[in-house]
């Protein structure tokens, strides 16, 4: 099997190494807007590099992995579909909601599978929480708490094109809230502020945010995010039900210090990045995409799924700016595929 990767930055190189390690993948081909970047990563991993994306799509691919900047996702997904190549694209679906809506419509009209990359769906803890909900192990779920705390903010250049904290960071929480609960959002309310790097505020963004969703089944969900959690990368979820509770990320890597006397938990060490935290999940995610390429299963996370997480982010940003509860019905949507 021959898999192409568009984008040879940090996540593209990470995916290239993962795909190289999969027994069913024979060849990995890299391309980047900066050909020297693709050549460098290909040289380090002993892979093939081509000069540009056009050459990549002409390279006899069985599958395409898009790890290029968000602003390129729309065009790259369309190019993969037009070439008839099963396509994996890192979140979010597109930089603009209008483009994500159009891509969701495209997905309904094509037989080419599209897989949107939300790796938490493949994390052992989140999968266990999802199964607990499906099996009724927790009774009825009434409260969910989701948290993503990054160790440090990205560079200014990234912030300018990130789409903001909710669209870039919290969107992972938004997708996994839908995945674990199996329910959609009815209303959203969010707040945020910037107390750190001036360039974040200068871009109209925030470095810390929090909010509340009420789901269609009346579950109350809180979420929080920050760019400043120097003690470690802290990603967690709590799911509370009428007969049980379960937590994701509650282990010795937890980036907290207990204030209780004599308590040694968590023992540490903490993890420093999302790639450290989710390495096994990324490996499962790309192994699953290979199954999609081989026609062994449908996409486990469609453009429609990615659109719903993006709509949640749009609602939160609108709520933050206007200081009000936002019904999700206000955010444009498409009908799910039958």
pLDDT digits over 262-279, tens only? 999 999 999 999 989 999
The answer, yes or no, to whether residue 244 has pLDDT greater than 70, is yes
- Torsion of Cα atoms, 122 then 124 then 129 then 131, to 10°: 80
Average pLDDT over the chain, rounded to whole? 97
> Hey, what are 49's tokens?
């590099």
The answer, yes or no, to whether residue 10 has pLDDT greater than 80, is yes
**Residue range 38-44: mean pLDDT, rounded:** 97
**Residue range 236-246: mean pLDDT, rounded:** 98
Q: Residues 181, 211: one domain?
A: yes
Q: Residues 167, 105: one domain?
A: no
* pLDDT value for 338: 65
pLDDT digits over 177-217, tens only? 999 999 999 999 999 999 999 999 999 999 999 999 999 99
Sorted by sequence, the CB contacts under 8 Å of residue 182 that are 6+ apart come out as 130, 133, 134
**Residue range 82-91: mean pLDDT, rounded:** 97
Q: Residues 326, 191: one domain?
A: yes
The answer, yes or no, to whether residue 86 has pLDDT greater than 90, is yes
The answer as to whether 42 is a domain residue is yes
Q: What is the rounded distance in angstroms from the CA atom of residue 95 to the CA atom of residue 92? A: 7
The answer as to whether 62 is a domain residue is yes
62 DSSP assignment: S
Q: Residues 233, 294: one domain?
A: no
Q: Residues 221, 311: one domain?
A: yes
Q: Residues 128, 97: one domain?
A: no
The answer as to whether 335 is a domain residue is no
* Domain of residue 249, residue span: 121-277+307-330
The answer as to whether 55 is a domain residue is yes
**Residue range 25-32: mean pLDDT, rounded:** 98
The answer as to whether 250 is a domain residue is yes
Q: Residues 108, 17: one domain?
A: yes
Q: Residues 171, 314: one domain?
A: yes
> What's the CA angle centered on 15, arms 120 and 164, to 5 degrees?
55
| Cis, bond preceding 98 (omega within 30 deg of 0) | no
The answer as to whether 337 is a domain residue is no
The answer as to whether 298 is a domain residue is yes
Q: Residues 259, 272: one domain?
A: yes
Return the percentage of the chain with pLDDT > 90, whole number. 98
**Residue range 230-250: mean pLDDT, rounded:** 98
The answer as to whether 338 is a domain residue is no
Q: Residues 24, 50: one domain?
A: yes
Q: Residues 115, 128: one domain?
A: no
The answer, yes or no, to whether residue 163 has pLDDT greater than 80, is yes
When pLDDT is cut at 50, 70 and 90, the band that residue 337 belongs to is confident
The answer, yes or no, to whether residue 283 has pLDDT greater than 90, is yes
Beta strands across the sheet bearing 208-215: 245-248, 234-241, 141-149, 220-226, 208-215, 185-193, 326-327
Query: Closest Cα partner for 154 from 145, 144, 163, 142?
Result: 163
pLDDT digits over 54-83, tens only? 999 999 999 999 999 999 999 999 999 999
The answer, yes or no, to whether residue 319 has pLDDT greater than 80, is yes
Q: What is the CATH classification number for the domain harbouring 196?
A: 3.30.360.10
**Residue range 134-144: mean pLDDT, rounded:** 98
**Residue range 121-128: mean pLDDT, rounded:** 98
Domain count, the chain: 2
Query: Closest Cα partner for 100 from 76, 79, 74?
Result: 74
Q: Residues 146, 70: one domain?
A: no
């Amino acid at each position: 099997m021959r898999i192409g990767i568009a984008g040879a930055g940090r996540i593209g190189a990470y995916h290239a190494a993962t795909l190289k390690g999969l027994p069913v993948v024979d060849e990995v081909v890299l391309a980047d807007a900066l050909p020297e970047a693709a050549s460098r990563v290909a040289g380090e991993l002993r892979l093939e590099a081509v000069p540009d994306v056009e050459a990549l799509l002409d390279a006899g691919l069985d599958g395409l992995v898009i790890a290029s900047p968000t602003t390129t996702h729309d065009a790259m997904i369309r190019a993969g579909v037009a070439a008839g190549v099963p396509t994996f694209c890192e979140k979010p679906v597109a930089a603009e909601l209008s483009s994500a809506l159009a891509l969701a419509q495209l997905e309904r009209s094509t037989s080419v599978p599209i897989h949107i990359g939300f790796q938490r769906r493949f994390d052992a803890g989140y999968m266990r929480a999802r199964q607990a909900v499906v099996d009724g192990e927790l009774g009825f779920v009434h409260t969910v708490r989701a948290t993503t705390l990054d160790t440090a903010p990205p560079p200014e250049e990234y912030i300018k094109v990130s789409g903001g904290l909710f669209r870039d960071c919290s969107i992972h929480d938004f997708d996994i809230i839908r995945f674990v609960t199996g329910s959609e959002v009815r209303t959203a309310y969010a707040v945020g502020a910037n107390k750190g790097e001036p360039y974040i505020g200068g871009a109209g963004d925030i470095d810390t945010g929090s909010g509340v969703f009420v789901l269609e089944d009346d579950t109350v969900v809180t979420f929080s995010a920050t760019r400043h959690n120097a003690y470690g990368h802290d990603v967690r979820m709590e799911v509370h039900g009428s007969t049980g509770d379960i937590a994701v990320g509650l282990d010795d890597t937890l980036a907290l210090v207990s204030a209780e006397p004599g308590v040694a938990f968590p023992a540490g060490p903490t993890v420093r990045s999302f790639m450290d935290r989710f390495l096994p999940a990324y490996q499962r995610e790309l192994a699953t995409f290979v199954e999609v390429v081989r026609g062994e299963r449908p996409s486990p996370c469609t453009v429609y799924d990615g659109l719903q997480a993006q709509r949640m982010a749009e609602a939160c940003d609108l709520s933050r700016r206007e200081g009000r509860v936002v019904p999700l019905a206000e955010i444009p949507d498409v009908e799910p595929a039958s």
